[in-house]
Chain A
Amino acid sequence: MPSPTSRMRWLRAKLYSIRNGTGAAILPPNISRIALSFNYKSNNGHMGPRKFFRECLPRLKYHNPEVDMIVTRKPDLEGPATLTVHFSDIPVENTLQLKKKQTAPVVRETTSTLEIDMLNRYPDDIMEELVQKTSATLYSEPPRSQELDEEAEYLAVKRENELKEKYKLQRADRRKGKDDQLKGAILA
């Protein structure tokens, strides 16, 4: 396992980028499923859909954990690339926070669908249409409160001072060690 510090720095950046950016939107509760269908290869305008899948879909999934997201990829070189939104009447049940045991997952039947053509388009463009047609609310992280800012600053300064002290001691130790070694070498 790598050291926790390096792991955490990397992780923090990763998590920030999955909470924010294109695709960070909260969908209305009547959406039950989003299905993508496009090719493995990027020929003939399938690059945009792939980028949408890689960049935007994880963010959508993070903000809508209850919505099923299904990706079907075909080995063809041509053909359509579509995003289908399934609507359902049954309201969302928050299964992640549900306490009681479920015997079987609730099947939410689709009442209507909405199709978005993804061929030859950029991910931002696709996202914009999705947000517009489903009237989703965009998410952006609230800025850090001042208290937390101050706390962070205080901690940073504290850590810096601690390190300074530590390095000073280390330097002194090293110098002392070198002197000792020298004296030993000569007297021996």
Chain B
Amino acid sequence: MASSISVCRACLTRPSTLVGRAPRLLRPTSDVHRLLPTTSTIPSLILASPFSTTPSLPAGGGAVNRAKVKSSKLKQTKKKKPKTHFKIWNHAELPKYALTDAMRYIRAFEVGNDVRQAKYDLAVKIYTQKNGPSVKSRIQLPKAVNTDIRICVFAQGKKADAAREAGASVVGTKEVWDQIREGVINFDRVICASDVFQEFQKTGLARILGPKGLMPSARTGTVVTNPAAIISAMVGAAEYRERQGVVRIAIGQLGFTPDELRDNIKEFMDQLAKDLARIEDFDKRINEVVLSSTNSPAFSLSGEFKNIGREEDLDIIPEAVEGGVAAEGTPVAAVA
């Protein structure tokens, strides 16, 4: 028997040496041999010994197990590299819309909704690493979107009075912290006076305020010696931050005219470009600018104010792409 099959044609091993120790290896049920083209030798081997006096190995024993370990090790080494960057897509061939076109559609989708409640949203996709610093900043838009922001100030004594005069809706220290702990949060921004900051940190409220993005910190400019001074600047300001490689911001109310919206977008894009440039050692680029609103689909902006060609043409030949081809912060620079 052994003379006829000195070498297995597929795997170049000597089956005769294996047969004595582990007959299971040669059955087509094992991982390796199922994938091989069936040679005439293997079935003949199995037929030759329909039963055996040697005790059959338990499932997953001995030689088979070793083979499996080897193959699993092999799989581990071939694992994909973890992705370091957020995924970006090539959207150069897809239709892009001029600002007025996008606004006309959005207004149609938003018909019948309250003009003050529905907002234009801008999403800016960024080519960026998953770890590393992210963009987080505040901007004073030419025409403010949120005019009724409720501000909370942690301060004592004179500073508290000054903050109340400047327009803060919730002012105090311990009684406010107790309220927050009970879940009463009726404000959108938090400012902390620097002299009570250490005391505030001991309360452990970061666990409640942190996830909501309300936690004051010196880095974001919300821990200051004089809270009253920055309240007025904060009322008309909008905050934005990078999440999952996208920066989102409410850029205008639905009732804004195209000119107003364009000014807002331009201002925001300029500042964002500066923010991105400020982060050194990390390659961050603007990939796509998308305008949408509360109840409407999203429109990728071409960077033009008004579209010259017919809209139907865009379906096939994206003329608008020239102005807005991705990557470097060109898209909205062309809006003029």
Contacts and interface: CB of A to CB of B under 8 A. Distances in A.
A96 B103 contact: yes
Contact of A8 (B70, B94, B105): B94
Interface in A126-164: 141, 144, 148, 151-152, 155
Interface stretch (B144-152, B189-197, B310-318): B310-318
Chain A, interface SS category: helix
A65 B313 contact: no
B94 A14 contact: no
Contacts of B78: 181
A4 B71 contact: no
Nearest to A149: B316
Contacts, number: 89
Interface residues of A, number: 42
Interface in B265-317: 288, 290, 297-300, 306, 312-313, 315-317
A3 B287 CA distance: 13
A15 B105 contact: yes
Task: Classify the secondary structure of B's interface with A.
Answer: mixed
B258 to A, nearest CB: 6
A4 B89 contact: yes
Contacts of A144: 312
Contacts of A96: 100, 103-104, 258
Contacts of A4: 89, 91, 94, 288, 300
Contacts of A15: 105, 297
List the 6 closest A-B pairs by CB distance, nearest first.
Answer: A71-B112, A62-B108, A4-B91, A61-B111, A186-B11, A61-B108
10 contacts: A1-B288, A8-B95, A10-B297, A11-B298, A18-B105, A58-B108, A61-B107, A62-B105, A69-B111, A185-B32
Interface of B: 11-13, 31-32, 35-36, 67, 70-71, 74, 78, 89, 91, 94-95, 100, 103-105, 107-109, 111-112, 123, 125, 246, 257-259, 288, 290, 297-300, 306, 312-313, 315-317
Interface of A: 1, 3-5, 7-8, 10-12, 14-15, 18, 36, 53, 57-62, 65, 69-71, 95-97, 101-102, 141, 144, 148, 151-152, 155, 178, 181-182, 184-186, 188
